[in-house]
Structure 1
């Protein structure tokens, strides 16, 4: 990965693979069972949003939630990757938000429908710049945090993931080929909550990286 620009993900990455309920406390706060195996869903690359542009509510949504996540950028193509070799396929990292239209998601779940619209609209994946792999020595022990209008909402640690990064890479690659530039969103800690128009979100990975986004409900 020669460039740290978000455009790099769009050029090389064909998919965003996200993991649901990968922190026990987050699963419990939403009244969900703690999963026995990873819950995987995908998001379109058109959902990426770079800083300087607002997060927008999707049509029909009145309950937009923030979810801060550690993003993994795949560094090289791999299929059925052994867990012990998974780190070799990490190209780098970034701070991500997996925005969720909670009311649309709950309605979809109630009716047994996919989550796609509640997770994949344009602007639903705000993302920071690419972080070189060697800038993070231990991705499995990172503070991950989020503030809304200066108030801390989420403050967790990647050590609390139910399924580790290496396990996720191996698990996902059993079913689909991971290609250079693809992204894995590794789940969010507890503290998710609602947003309104005009809110300002700050989120980061310890003091390594930080992102700022505004919310537009118009």
Structure 2
């Protein structure tokens, strides 16, 4: 199932992508009453797990059969982030072998963890403000996101993916000068809008092996990153297990799993051209759709 959030009259609404369009769940319920409980927010689906997904799928099938004005044209909706308020946003740094090599960094022995905050979240199609008062070195990073579906603590690697609800795209935008100002990367990672997320949250059953997905970043039509999640140093099961040894993961937490080679930081210094006003960046991961955002200079 492909879930999404869209904005209507200033409110976040749950949608389900189907072959005929996006089903507006709240509007559908007004014209096609449900026989049982149906989740109406993305977090209700995540927290409800398999049962909630099954109930939602059954209802969507029933609503589509009945027909109505609740099917939206995807090109006309205003997206929100596909996970709207994660309790935790945990990031893994230097997690692709070739990316570590291009930045002349040693291959890490343990996952390098840092965090971002909800102020960085935005949706597909939204402009991202470049904070030009404090940085001129904003870089793109195509990344696979793990979305946790069940409370996880001290989880074995062999069972770790059982705790995953699904996956989505993110652009882990990074102000490199701010990131490298100190040993802590947080400042360069946490500017407003620096985590476009989506367009869809795709359930794990539709994705299959998360470490066998093609991943790309395209800037103004030029492919800048092209790799596969198999190049991760620490695969998704190992990441979930490792983090769960140190903190409790809860439904709706998201884990950004690192970026492959091809970022601006990996170029020789005289060839580094960072993102600028008007640049359009697209993140594509196999089975997860395309996430596109335009960079615009932040207004005073």
TM bucket, shorter chain: over 0.9
Query: Which residue of structure 2 aligns with residue 205 of structure 1?
Result: 285
Unaligned runs of 5+ in 1: none
Counterpart CA distance in 2 for 1:189 and 1:38 is 15
TM-superposition CA deviations, 1:32-51 (whole Å, max 9, x none): 11111100011112211112
Task: Measure how far apart 1:135 and its partner are.
Answer: 1.4
Query: Which residue of structure 2 aligns with residue 72 of structure 1?
Result: 146
Match of 2:169 among 95, 104, 110: 95
TM-score, normalised to structure 2, is 0.68
The 1:14–1:199 alpha-carbon spacing in structure 2 relative to 1, beyond 3 Å, is same
The 1:189–1:2 alpha-carbon spacing in structure 2 relative to 1, beyond 3 Å, is closer
Match of 2:245 among 171, 174, 189: 174
Task: Measure how far apart 1:78 and its partner are.
Answer: 1.0
Query: Which residue of structure 2 aligns with residue 22 of structure 1?
Result: 95
The 1:134–1:207 alpha-carbon spacing in structure 2 relative to 1, beyond 3 Å, is closer
Query: Which residue of structure 1 aligns with residue 155 of structure 2?
Result: 81
Unaligned runs of 5+ in 2: 7-11, 13-41, 43-82, 265-273
Pairing 1:131–2:202 present: yes
Select the structure with the greater relative contact order (CA < 8 A; seq sep ≥ 6): 1
- Aligned to 1:96, the other structure's residue is in SS state strand
Counterpart CA distance in 2 for 1:3 and 1:152 is 27
CA RMSD of aligned residues (A): 1.7
TM-superposition CA deviations, 1:44-69 (whole Å, max 9, x none): 12211112321122341110000000
Query: Which residue of structure 2 aligns with residue 106 of structure 1?
Result: 180
- Superposition misfits of 4+ residues, deviation over 3 angstroms: 1-4
Task: Measure how far apart 1:207 and its partner are.
Answer: 5.3
